Amino acid sequence: MTEGLWDQETFLGKLREVGGRSYHDKHPFHILMNAGKLSPDAIRGWVINRFYYQTQIPVKDAAILSNCPFHEIRRLWTYRIIEHDGAQGEEGGIEAWLRLGAACGIPREKMIVGGDVAPSVRFAVDAYVHFCREKPWIIAMSSSLTELFAPDLMAKRLEAFQQHYPWVEPWGFDYFKRRLTQARVDSKGALALTLKHCDTPQLQREAVRALVFKCDLLWAVLDGIHLKYGA
């Protein structure tokens, strides 16, 4: 017998359970990073590979918008693209990550060219863009709910970099600092849309599966980085 519609409290609990067991803060690479156990080459490798993910965030958001027929929801979501790509005279998340690379001693051109991105990382990130292009808009939006768990990760990451990696210039931490607050704003909006528009048992369960997929993807990205650079 098919399980019925969850109430919102149960639905939210199902979503939070995914992060509790599967979010990539539990990955061995992140554990080593937060403990100060990574070499400069491993940190730089993480920054370079993760930058490819950063470049594709506005691409996946544009793909989501292309499938959304409601202009009021598109208006709510459009700010994410601007937030990451930036606007005239205003630095976005991509530029902030380039500054992190510069603070780690990585030439800007090397970051942009992306020649050192591991094939497995590129494959995983491209799979995310494909997912957001092919899935219904609300399911693709719900995959972004990993942001529910991001502020705690960012706080630990910022503390770890400041404590264990003094060779990284502190002016490079702007991205981490802005995500401490922005991730809460982003997740609040995405969660409200998910709870409202996933209004059938099928959509609720697809939303949970989408969040599992996103957690698996972030884990796979770290698998590729860990394999390439070790610890």
- Give residue-wise pLDDT tens across range 23-40: 999 999 999 999 999 999
User: What is the structure's pLDDT at 1?
Assistant: 44
- Give the whole-number percent of the chain exceeding pLDDT 70: 99
Nearest alpha-carbon partner for 61 in 75, 48, 78, 76: 78
- For the domain made up of 8-229, the CATH class stated in words is mainly alpha
Q: Is the pLDDT of residue 126 over 60?
A: yes
User: What b/e readout covers 91-106, taking b as 16+ CB neighbours within 10 angstroms?
Assistant: ebbbebbbbbbbbbeb
Q: Is the pLDDT of residue 114 over 60?
A: yes
Question: How many angstroms separate the CA atoms of 231 and 218, rounded?
Answer: 18
Q: Is the pLDDT of residue 42 over 90?
A: yes
Q: Which two tokens stand for residue 98?
A: 């380039």
User: What is the structure's pLDDT at 3?
Assistant: 80
User: What is the structure's pLDDT at 231?
Assistant: 65
Q: Is the pLDDT of residue 63 over 50?
A: yes
Q: Which of 80-89, 90-99, 136-145 has the highest mean pLDDT?
A: 136-145
User: What is the structure's pLDDT at 2?
Assistant: 58
**Confidence band (pLDDT; 50, 70, 90) for 88?**
confident
pLDDT in tens, 190-217: 999 999 999 999 999 999 999 999 999 9
Question: How many angstroms separate the CA atoms of 217 and 219, rounded?
Answer: 5
User: What is the structure's pLDDT at 215?
Assistant: 97
Question: How many angstroms separate the CA atoms of 24 and 220, rounded?
Answer: 9
Domain residue limits, the chain: 8-229
Q: Is the pLDDT of residue 49 over 80?
A: yes
Q: Is the pLDDT of residue 65 over 90?
A: yes
pTM (two decimals): 0.94
- Mean pLDDT over each residue of the chain, to the nearest integer: 95
CB 42 within 8 A of CB 51: no
